[in-house]
Amino acid sequence: MLKLYDSPECPFCQKTRIVLAEKDLSVDIVPVDLQAGEQKRPEFLKLNPFGKVPVLIDDEMIVYDSTIINEYLEDEYPHPPLLPPDSAARARVRTFEDYADNAFIPVTGIIMNELKKPEAERDREKLANARQQVQRMLAVIDGSLAGRSWLAGAAFSLADVAFAPRVVILGALGVELDPEWKNVAGWIQRLNQRASIHDLAGLEAWRR
């Protein structure tokens, strides 16, 4: 039995739960209360010395970092495949996943943190700047989706997984889609049609 140390609202945990759902894998979820600092307790640091979720345990194997976990799951449980067979397409997937993890997710996180504050306490300039950054990224993604159903081509992949937790709640974050971004609009619609994403725990408060 797989065991996942998880925090429902963490987008990196959500990434891994999407993959587990896509591969129809049974998993024992162990909740980690980040607000209470459970990820910094000695027993957790034995699993991941960086004190971050998610952490996956598969028998005696301990894997941490969502990207590494998802590639491990791809290697161990290859069906259905979430990485394309050729090296060029795999590089494309990994490039998009890096873009999601290190650019898109952090900026959308800024928006979410501001929106959680009482309205009078929100930094409107920070919100506006973050939304503009997200829109610039979406314009790039729209171009990358030209002639493609998914970021890596014809098949849903780990690249799409990486963006999904935040892309599907852009409306709730106050990020407007340019009407010309038809590729992005279609992509988001396809993401929402996947059960692994439509039923993703941790997004309830943000879904509209």
CATH of domain 2-76: 3.40.30.10
Amino acid letter, residue 131: R
Q: Find how far residue 153's CA is from the centre of its chain.
A: 19
- Between strands 27-31 and 61-64, the pairing is unpaired
Where in the chain do CATH 1.20.1050.10 domains reside? 87-206
Where in the chain do CATH 3.40.30.10 domains reside? 2-76
Name the active-site residue from 4, 5, 7, 10: 10
CATH of domain 87-206: 1.20.1050.10
pLDDT tens-digit profile, the chain (208 residues): 899 999 999 999 999 999 999 999 999 999 998 888 889 999 989 999 999 999 999 998 999 999 999 999 999 999 999 999 999 999 999 999 999 999 999 999 999 999 999 999 999 999 999 999 999 999 999 999 999 999 998 899 999 999 999 999 999 999 999 999 999 999 999 999 999 999 888 788 777 5
Residue 48 CB contacts under 8 Å (≥ 6 apart), including other chains: 5, 39, 55, 62, 64
**Does residue 13 carry a catalytic annotation?**
no
